[in-house]
Amino acid sequence: MLTLISFVVTLGILIAVHEYGHYRVAVACGIKVLKFSIGFGKPLYTWRLKNNSTEFSIGMLPLGGYVKMLDEREAPVDPSERHLAFNTQPLKSRAAVVAAGPVANLLLAVMLYSVVNWSGVQEPKAVLASPVANSLAEQAGLRGGETVQQAAFDNDAPETVRSFEDLRWRMTQGALDGRDLRLVMGSDAGTTLQTVVLPLSKLEAVDPDSQLFRRIGILGPWTQPSIGETMPGSAAQKSGLKAGDVVVRIGETAIVDGQQLREVIRASAQGADSTAAPQNWQIQRNGQPLALQVTPEVNKEGGVPVARIGAYVGALPAFVTVRYGPLEGLWGGVVRTWEVSALTLKMMGKMVIGESSLKNLSGPLTIADYAGKSATMGWTAYLVFLALVSVSLGVLNLLPLPVLDGGHLMYYLWEWVTGRGVSDAWMDRLQRGGVAILLGMMCIALFNDVTRLVG
């Protein structure tokens, strides 16, 4: 139920803001708006504002909306109102009305990111877990436990890294842009210890998936290598492990953090027979050293044997409150909206030329799933999700595809360059092509949704 409510609220907010952008600019340009609708189909509720001729309504299907303006191309217009029709307006006014919807979504994203920045959010500290073996991070000299104070691309000036999520975002940008990331390590007191360069340009990354961070070698923040709750009858319980035990060593391997502990356990599966040999564990229990023998259980995941002990491995990371001042928070919202927009366009471009998988396209089912999950994580997580989808909606509508706002702007660009509008015949052809492309994208997105949820 929460997923459904969150999904409807998400769509309602994004559609209302988008259509209100069209409506507000149309009114400002002196255009008569006949109807403002959120949703399609049979109206569930209709009303009019005082001294306003516009009919407002909420439709039965909340998968879109529209603003219907007075227009000679759609119905006869009384000569006395011809100056209020959309089609009689100057080019700059028509372009402004069309662009206002996507721009409104982008401005909403700026506002949402700013609110999150101002209110503050709990995020893991930028303390690095032990790197994946043979990864870029390990080759760069990282060993785990380092605190990242600053980061910069190539020769840019270093900027403060406020949290691990901040660092993860920079790594994503660097990997997809092919730019090396310079990390400045230091203690919490601010003393600089070392500078390390992650050569992200070597990755030739195309998708920001989980395997990308495995190749980089930084999967998460540092956590204490402790044991949490154990499952009844599991390998952990049979070996005598208890919640609160801190793992110091497994065999000859010294354990640095929870990430390394999970990797060592997973890698203990031996060959095709899917077994794991007994391991000698050195642990600390209530400050006292203790030796135990643990034999992980092995299961196949995707045809690959993976060892587990049947317990929660690794404690929660240390958290820090990330909060910005009024101007800094607003500028941070602008920057994040710009960065997410650029990344969205980059990924779309890579999908068009075949450098990125079409599996990255998401549809309503994935949005609904993420809406529900983010809502359960708290209002700040939901606002970040809402901002992300708002950016995606704004960018998508600005694409030069007929039937989208960007397609209409493309027509106006042609009119501005040539001095004449697109002919009705070409308009019909382009609209048909745009609908076909849009339907194809929707089918792919829906297929990806079903595959993700079923898988």
User: Which of 299, 315, 331 lies at the terminal end of a domain, its last residue?
Assistant: 315
- pLDDT top residue among 436 and 408: 408
Q: How far apart are CA 261 and CA 267, in angstroms?
A: 10
Tell whether 324 is covered by a domain: no
At 382 the pLDDT is 86
Q: Please, which residues bridge with residue 198 across strands?
A: 181
At 337 the pLDDT is 93
Tell whether 416 is covered by a domain: yes
Same domain, 194 and 266: no
Domain count for the chain, please give it: 3
Q: Are 406 and 120 in contact (CB under 8 A)?
A: no
Same domain, 211 and 241: no
Same domain, 110 and 189: no
User: What average pLDDT does the chain have?
Assistant: 84
pTM for this prediction: 0.78
User: Which of 315, 334, 367 lies at the terminal end of a domain, its last residue?
Assistant: 315
Tell whether 84 is covered by a domain: no
Structure tokens at 60: 């039965």
104-113, 256-265, 346-355, 418-427 — most confident range: 104-113
Task: Identify the CATH number of the domain in which residue 174 sits.
Answer: 2.30.42
Q: Are 294 and 235 in contact (CB under 8 A)?
A: yes
Same domain, 189 and 266: no
Q: How far apart are CA 29 and CA 27, in angstroms?
A: 5
In this prediction, residue 114 has a pLDDT band, given cuts at 50, 70 and 90, of very high
Same domain, 255 and 274: yes
Tell whether 373 is covered by a domain: no
Q: Are 193 and 185 in contact (CB under 8 A)?
A: yes
Same domain, 241 and 294: yes
Query: Could you please report the per-residue DSSP string of 241-297?
Result: --TT-EEEEETTEEP-SHHHHHHHHHTTEETTTTEE--EEEEEEETTEEEEEEE--E
Q: Are 376 and 426 in contact (CB under 8 A)?
A: no
Task: Identify the CATH number of the domain in which residue 237 sits.
Answer: 2.30.42.10
Kindly state the average pLDDT of the residues 194-215.
79
User: Which of 295, 315, 335 lies at the terminal end of a domain, its last residue?
Assistant: 315
Please state whether 244 falls in left (phi above 0), alpha (psi between -120 and 50) or beta: left
User: What is the residue type of 287?
Assistant: G
Which residues constitute the domain of residue 396?
Answer: 2-30+89-117+380-454
Same domain, 24 and 104: yes
Q: How far apart are the first and last CA of the chain?
A: 22
Structure tokens at 123: 């995020």
Question: Among this protein's residues, is 19 annotated catalytic?
Answer: yes
Same domain, 95 and 22: yes
Instruction: Give the start-end residues of each E strand in 10-88.
Output: 33-48, 55-69
Kindly state the average pLDDT of the residues 393-418.
87
- Give the largest Cα separation in the chain, rounded: 93
pLDDT tens-place string over residues 269-301: 765 556 677 889 999 999 899 999 988 888 776
Say if residue 118's pLDDT is above 90. Answer: yes
Same domain, 195 and 284: no
Same domain, 211 and 160: yes
Q: What are phi and psi of 407, to 5 degrees?
A: -65, -40
Say if residue 188's pLDDT is above 70. Answer: no
Q: How far apart are CA 11 and CA 420, in angstroms?
A: 37
Kindly state the average pLDDT of the residues 182-211.
76
In this prediction, residue 76 has a pLDDT band, given cuts at 50, 70 and 90, of confident
- Of the listed ranges 165-169, 181-185, 342-346, 367-371, the one predicted with least confidence: 367-371
Counting Cβ atoms within 10 Å, is residue 67 exposed (0-12), middle (13-18) or buried (19+)?
Answer: buried
Q: How far apart are CA 292 and CA 305, in angstroms?
A: 24
Say which of 19, 55, 74, 328 is annotated catalytic: 19
Strand 304-308 relative to strand 311-313: parallel, antiparallel, unpaired? unpaired
Query: Could you please report the per-residue DSSP string of 294-316?
Result: E--EEEEETTEEEEE-SEEESPP
Tell whether 445 is covered by a domain: yes
Cβ–Cβ contacts within 10 Å for residue 359, how many?
15
Tell whether 348 is covered by a domain: no
Say if residue 372's pLDDT is above 70. Answer: no
At 23 the pLDDT is 93
At 435 the pLDDT is 73
Cβ–Cβ contacts within 10 Å for residue 440, how many?
10
Say if residue 302's pLDDT is above 60. Answer: yes
Percentage of the chain lying above the pLDDT 90 cut = 23
Tell whether 61 is covered by a domain: no
Structure tokens at 93: 């006014």
Q: Are 342 and 427 in contact (CB under 8 A)?
A: no
Tell whether 369 is covered by a domain: no
Same domain, 6 and 103: yes
